[in-house]
Structure 1
């Protein structure tokens, strides 16, 4: 009689290794396997999406001191070479810093930027006073403090101020 439990235990051990790899959810009591979980999700109804873009209410983030200072080590003030882009659907945006060149550029192009609905990213900002000076140079335009290193790498740019649209990169 002692041989049956030993053989049974050995067979159970082999059966565990013979099964294909189980996920963590499959070995948990009451866990869902991926196919069961996916079948239980409601279908996506694409007709419920709005016909136009919804813009985030940025007024909820009144206190931006938690993100400051912002430094973008891949970017510095300077001249850029205008070039064409092919990015259909891209909404216009611009990169600026707290330097005098950016402030003058913003002041000079504020009306044009506002008319095209461009949003601004302040990629070098030391404190709330610097952010206020940047925003004062282009009143009525949303300008948020953001690290611009990823954008700089993807668009292969080294300098700001710069305006990025669906068709061009320009200063």
Structure 2
């Protein structure tokens, strides 16, 4: 009973602590994984008043909206053994909304989580989150994903990273 009360206290106090400081990279070497797909489930509710505490808008990226020209293997992009399901990367541009509408059902069937790499405002992010129809969608905080994609020669989004590390323009 005491453990349940302590867990409840910690979970209710967590948002206050999360908003108090910027995120800090603890480890960025071999075996490091982005936390976005994990906290995406925490911020996926469209009924939440805001986004993740501390997220600053606009979210910007050097990647551009477009169509991925060829599927890539993603060698060195991700150590795919940690991926339990696909992740999709998109923005709040009209092309991303259209792409999401076209692939929403398949993404849901695959259990995919979304990472938003570009959003002009919190309102645009929340609009995309609502449009996702229950799919987990989280804002990308920090340059990790952008740097990995650019170093792999990928400069456009939306895209999907499959659990085997393959990067595609559409979920399969």
| Whole-Å separation in 2 of the counterparts to 1:113 and 1:107 | 10
- TM-score of the two chains, using structure 1 as the length reference: 0.59
CA contact (8 A) 2:66 2:158 kept: yes
Other-structure match for 2:102: 108
SS at 1:83 equivalent: coil
- How many angstroms does 1:146 deviate by? 1.3
The alignment's C-alpha RMSD in Å is: 2.6
The runs of 5 or more residues in structure 1 that have no matched partner are 1-54
- How many angstroms does 1:107 deviate by? 0.7
- TM-score of the two chains, using structure 2 as the length reference: 0.58
Report which of the two structures shows the higher radius of gyration computed on alpha carbons.
Answer: 1
Moved segments of 4+, more than 2 Å:
59-63, 70-74, 84-89
Asked whether 1:165 is paired with 2:162, we answer: yes
The runs of 5 or more residues in structure 2 that have no matched partner are 1-37
SS at 1:95 equivalent: strand
- The higher relative CO (CA closer than 8 Å, separation ≥ 6) is in 2
CA contact (8 A) 1:68 1:145 kept: no
Other-structure match for 1:99: 93
- How many angstroms does 1:60 deviate by? 9.8
Alignment coverage as a number of residue pairs = 117
SS at 1:163 equivalent: strand
